[in-house]
Amino acid sequence: MPRFLQGWLGDVVRFSQQRPEIYKVRQRPIYSLRQSILHIKGHGKNPIIAEYKRKSPSGFNMDRDIIEYVKFMESNGVAGISVLTEEKFFGGSYKDLEAVTRAVRIPVLMKDFIVTEKQVNSAYSLGADVILLIVRVLTERELVSLYKYAKSYHLDVIVEVTNEEEIEIAVRNNFDIIGVNSRDLASLDLSLEKTKRLLKLIPSDRLKIAESGIRSRDDIQQLKEAGADAFLIGTTLMQDPNKIKELV
Ligand SMILES: O=P(O)(O)OC[C@@H](O)[C@@H](O)c1c[nH]c2ccccc12
pLDDT in tens, 112-162: 999 999 999 999 999 999 999 999 999 999 999 999 999 999 999 999 999
Does position 2 have pLDDT exceeding 80, yes or no? no
234 lines ligand 1 (CB under 6 A): yes
| pLDDT for the residue 134 | 98
Please answer whether residues 34 and 147 qualify as being in contact, where contact means their C-beta atoms are separated by less than 8 angstroms.
no
125 lines ligand 1 (CB under 6 A): no
Domain with 91, as residue range(s), is 31-247
Q: How far apart are the first and last CA of the chain?
A: 40
**Of the candidates 161, 162, 186, the residue with the CA atom closest to the CA atom of residue 175:** 161
Share of the chain above pLDDT 90, in %: 96
Please answer whether residues 133 and 146 qualify as being in contact, where contact means their C-beta atoms are separated by less than 8 angstroms.
yes
Residue 12 in any domain: the answer is no
Confidence of residue 29 (pLDDT cuts 50, 70, 90): very high
Does position 1 have pLDDT exceeding 80, yes or no? no
Q: Which CATH number belongs to the domain containing residue 61 in this structure?
A: 3.20.20.70
| pLDDT for the residue 81 | 99
Q: How far is the CA of 52 from the centre of ligand 1 (A)?
A: 10
**Of the candidates 2, 230, 27, 208, the residue with the CA atom closest to the CA atom of residue 115:** 2
CA pair distance 117, 123, nearest whole angstrom: 10
Please answer whether residues 179 and 161 qualify as being in contact, where contact means their C-beta atoms are separated by less than 8 angstroms.
yes
213 lines ligand 1 (CB under 6 A): yes
Confidence of residue 27 (pLDDT cuts 50, 70, 90): confident
CA pair distance 56, 84, nearest whole angstrom: 10
Closest ligand 1 atom, residue 190 Cα: 3
Residue 54 in any domain: the answer is yes
Please answer whether residues 47 and 79 qualify as being in contact, where contact means their C-beta atoms are separated by less than 8 angstroms.
yes
Residue 205 in any domain: the answer is yes
Please answer whether residues 169 and 189 qualify as being in contact, where contact means their C-beta atoms are separated by less than 8 angstroms.
no
Residue 178 in any domain: the answer is yes
235 lines ligand 1 (CB under 6 A): yes
**Active-site residue set:** 51, 53, 111, 160, 181, 211-212
| pLDDT for the residue 146 | 98
pLDDT tens digit sequence for 66-105: 999 999 999 999 999 999 999 999 999 999 999 999 999 9
